[in-house]
Structure 1
Amino acid sequence: MIANFFKKLMMPLAVMVLGIATAFTTTSMSSTKALTLVQGYKFISQADPCHIDTMCSNVVTPNICTSGTTQLWGKLSPNAPTCDVKLYRP
């Protein structure tokens, strides 16, 4: 009888706690990913050393961010004249 009461009370509570934990995990994962995307730039010429291209990530992974066969780079700040920050595929 006590085991039956325990099941009826604790099972819904356990499901609710699991659902809340999953919701928080999903929210934190999506907001973290959004914050890691940065603008990728490619070198065209000395006159255009930082040409805007594809969005990349600044989170280190084994895959570098490219556009075709050209490696893309990032800037330390939006107004920086050079693009020398290594970027990776999101």
Structure 2
Amino acid sequence: MPSKKGRIQDLSVILKDESIIRSIFALIFVAVFAFFLLGSLILGGISLFMPLEGKVGEAKEIIVTISGIFSGPLGLILGYYFRSQVEKPST
């Protein structure tokens, strides 16, 4: 049977790995959100200068839709990530 100290060290390794995974997941989600938002802004800007089938109102609607879709999960992920950062004791 492993000693109590060994089990505590194993738990700290698991918690450290969980924190790394959580921060990578948050970073990936923020990067995807920024990519889609930047892409919609670029396409909206291009539609101002080039005659496309869509109108400026439709480009604005795309930006609002993308922001609406991603803002809820983004807030949830960032809130969970920073809550876990606050709960960690200072070393």
More relative contact order, 1 or 2 (CA 8 Å, 6+ apart): 2
Q: Which has the larger radius of gyration?
A: 1
TM-score by length of 1: 0.48
Which protein is richer in strand relative to its size?
Answer: 1
TM-score by length of 2: 0.47
